[in-house]
Structure 1
Amino acid sequence: MNVRCLFTIALLVYCCPGAISCPERCKCYFGQDSTEVICHNISMSVFPAQSLPSNTTRLTIQYTDITTITGKDLQSIPLLRELHLSNNKLQNLSSDMLMGLSQLHTIDLTGNQLRDLPSRVFYHAPLDSLALKNNLLSRASADWLPGDSNLTWIDLSGNHFQKVPAGLLQNLGSLVTLDLSLNKLEELPAAVLDPLVLMERLALQNNKLRVIDPMAFNTTSSLSYLFLQDNRLEKLPPSLFRRVKELRYLDLSGNQLRSLPDGALDPSVVFVDLALNPWNCDAKAAYLWRWQKRYAEVHQEDTKAACTLPAALKGRPLASLSGEELGLKE
């Protein structure tokens, strides 16, 4: 430990003794301008509000039996910047939980038992990142967040959403990354993504998507990475990606696509995964076949599209076929 660090600790002991306390069985790391507390996989059922260092800037409590957190619990650590509460047994949060935390930018609530959240629960801190992954949420209300939310990253994956939470998205005009994978979404309607004009990354894999409205991506012109794999899509609207001029990565693998309509894929896409779809390799595959040839020449990549029908071509990569095998007049 260097002299400066020793001096800092001595000063803290003299000026504010509570700044160097540490909860039992937890680990505390004291730096010059930061204090980290980690309570991992220990027997704890009550939030350790009284024993936390008052200058805590990063708090991690995970794999414990804590079921609830109130505003009083966090009032003793007003300098908090990051709060990581993954894999506990949280069932309830209070609406004043973040009151007074003017520097808090990151919250991770992954792997808890949250079914619903109270109004204004995320109002009182300038959050940039929010993880609600692997909870029991089936709805997300607009009043969880202020209208001028600063969130750029939100993870809602692994919950029970059957519909895209349109209300919540209204307040996410600064959002760059949205993860709704591993839910139960069946459709992506028009206008639901319209507020997300800055979004660059959208994860919708491992849902039950059957329908995507032709206008679903009309305002998401900054979208660069789109994950649609492992859904139940049987067809795509021909103009679906027409306004997504920045699309660089598109994963459509593991769906029920048999063909693609003319114009479905923008030439600017750098990587496309079309594996594990039941492609029908006949004349209706002409557009995709020709697009793949151009794509392979430009990007030196394989889309992994392979034939399911007709039986004589089963398993053959679509790109390897001749026009004659597809029944085309070249």
Structure 2
Amino acid sequence: MTMNRKLSSVFLLLLLFSDIYSVCDNKNGLFSVNATVHYNKAYRGFKVNSNFNLLENYTTIDVYQANVIDLCEGTIKNFPFLESLSMININLTKIQPHAFKNVPQLKILSLAVNKLSQIINGSFNNIPSLEIIYLSKNEISDIQQSAFQGMPNLREVHLDRNKITQLNANIFRGSPQIHIIDFKFNIIKYISRDSFEDLRPQHKKSMTIFLNKNNIEEVYDLNFNFKNPVNFHLEGNHIQQISTILHNLKEGSRLYLNNNKISCVPDDVVEYLTKTSKELYILNNPITCECLNRTDYLLESISR
């Protein structure tokens, strides 16, 4: 009886963990793909139908027809010259930890227009050279903490047109070169104070954060623990008030609040803007006539 209980417990654990990317759904998904390949930028690309693993000598691979449900551990392995990999619209639903191995030159990865619902820790392990990643137009609703951790050369992350509802902290910890983060066209309602607390850029470029076309109603005080100016895009949301977020941005930053529901700019914000190099954009908001008149009067008073 004890042995049967132990076997039942083991079986139950296997069932529970099988959904956490422990089983490969289609090991043979890349045995036959249609792709456009390049030896290098100086050579014109050409189309091939091949086993993906036989394309190891190319610098650019653009897979445009395949049925790859699952990138299992070691699926993309031993591509010493590969610099750019595109696998768009191939029915991809999972990326398991350590799916990429020995791709030392890979700089650009596009997995856009697929069916990914989650980005788990370790999805992009072993790609320290990666600079740009496109995950646009998937079905992503969950990004685990540290999903992009320890990627020393990562510059751009594109997660637009997904189903993300909130931003977790510590997503980008250990990615010091990042300067473009794109979350536009999601369904984000809430931005926590520590959503970008983990950003520690070691460059002098402006940080550009796209959160336009979401469902954001209010932006709380955000922790930006860096000296870089920020181009903060919040156009096309449901924001009604200009919070103190402007004060938390570094000098030279730009806050875009066009096409929201702002009816007035508070006097203290107007006065603050006359003393700073920060810029505020509020086109196409329902600003009241009373507010406009008061702002004009305040600006005249300040200029005297």
How many percent of aligned residue pairs carry the same amino acid?
Answer: 15
Q: How has the CA–CA distance of structure 1 residues 166 and 129 changed in structure 2, closer, same or farther, with 3 Å as cutoff? A: farther
Name the CA distance, whole Å, in 1 between partners of 2:219 and 2:80: 45
Equivalences, count? 261
Partner of 2:92 in structure 1? Answer: 114
Q: 1:286 aligns with which of 252, 264, 267?
A: 267
Partner of 1:83 in structure 2? Answer: 61
State the Cα distance separating 1:159 from its structure 2 match.
1.0
Larger radius of gyration: 1
The alignment status of 1:174 with 2:153, answered yes or no, reads yes
User: What is the 5 A alignment of 1:226-265?
Assistant: 226-238=209-221, 240=222, 242-262=224-244, 264-265=246-247
- Asked whether the equivalents of residues 197 and 219 of structure 1 are also in contact (C-alpha less than 8 Å), the reply is no
**Which amino acid in structure 2 is aligned with residue 179 of structure 1?**
H
**Which amino acid in structure 2 is aligned with residue 290 of structure 1?**
E
Structure 1: runs of 5 or more not aligned: 1-24, 40-46, 50-72
**Which amino acid in structure 1 is aligned with residue 46 of structure 2?**
I
Q: Which moved more, 1:255-264 or 1:90-99?
A: 90-99
State the Cα distance separating 1:108 from its structure 2 match.
0.8
- Asked whether the equivalents of residues 38 and 59 of structure 2 are also in contact (C-alpha less than 8 Å), the reply is no
Q: How has the CA–CA distance of structure 1 residues 110 and 320 changed in structure 2, closer, same or farther, with 3 Å as cutoff? A: farther
Q: How has the CA–CA distance of structure 1 residues 152 and 30 changed in structure 2, closer, same or farther, with 3 Å as cutoff? A: closer
Q: From the two aligned structures, give the one with the greater strand fraction.
A: 2
- Asked whether the equivalents of residues 199 and 224 of structure 2 are also in contact (C-alpha less than 8 Å), the reply is no
- Asked whether the equivalents of residues 263 and 287 of structure 2 are also in contact (C-alpha less than 8 Å), the reply is yes
Partner of 1:322 in structure 2? Answer: 296
Partner of 2:125 in structure 1? Answer: 146
Q: How has the CA–CA distance of structure 1 residues 185 and 74 changed in structure 2, closer, same or farther, with 3 Å as cutoff? A: closer
- Asked whether the equivalents of residues 114 and 138 of structure 2 are also in contact (C-alpha less than 8 Å), the reply is yes
Q: 2:198 aligns with which of 219, 240, 243?
A: 219
Name the CA distance, whole Å, in 1 between partners of 2:251 and 2:164: 28
**Which amino acid in structure 2 is aligned with residue 107 of structure 1?**
L
Aligned Cα RMSD in Å? 3.5
Instruction: Report the secondary structure of 1:84's partner residue.
Output: strand
Instruction: Report the secondary structure of 1:264's partner residue.
Output: helix
Name the CA distance, whole Å, in 1 between partners of 2:80 and 2:294: 59
- Asked whether the equivalents of residues 196 and 219 of structure 1 are also in contact (C-alpha less than 8 Å), the reply is no
**Which amino acid in structure 1 is aligned with residue 81 of structure 2?**
Q
Name the CA distance, whole Å, in 1 between partners of 2:275 and 2:293: 10
The alignment status of 1:272 with 2:255, answered yes or no, reads yes
Name the CA distance, whole Å, in 2 between partners of 1:101 and 1:168: 23
State the Cα distance separating 1:132 from its structure 2 match.
0.8
Instruction: Report the secondary structure of 1:280's partner residue.
Output: coil
- Asked whether the equivalents of residues 260 and 287 of structure 1 are also in contact (C-alpha less than 8 Å), the reply is no
Name the CA distance, whole Å, in 2 between partners of 1:164 and 1:76: 32
Instruction: Report the secondary structure of 1:308's partner residue.
Output: coil
State the Cα distance separating 1:244 from its structure 2 match.
3.9
Q: 2:116 aligns with which of 116, 119, 137?
A: 137
State the Cα distance separating 1:200 from its structure 2 match.
0.8
Instruction: Report the secondary structure of 1:192's partner residue.
Output: coil
Instruction: Report the secondary structure of 1:279's partner residue.
Output: coil
Name the CA distance, whole Å, in 2 between partners of 1:26 and 1:212: 39
**Which amino acid in structure 2 is aligned with residue 289 of structure 1?**
V
1:17-67 deviation per Cα after TM superposition (whole angstroms, max 9, x unaligned): xxxxxxxx9999889x9655422xxxxxxx723xxxxxxxxxxxxxxxxxx
Higher relative contact order (CA 8 A, sep 6+): 2
Q: How has the CA–CA distance of structure 1 residues 27 and 89 changed in structure 2, closer, same or farther, with 3 Å as cutoff? A: closer
Name the CA distance, whole Å, in 1 between partners of 2:117 and 2:103: 24
Partner of 1:103 in structure 2? Answer: 81
State the Cα distance separating 1:163 from its structure 2 match.
2.1
Instruction: Report the secondary structure of 1:202's partner residue.
Output: strand
State the Cα distance separating 1:217 from its structure 2 match.
1.7
Q: Which moved more, 1:240-249 or 1:180-189?
A: 240-249
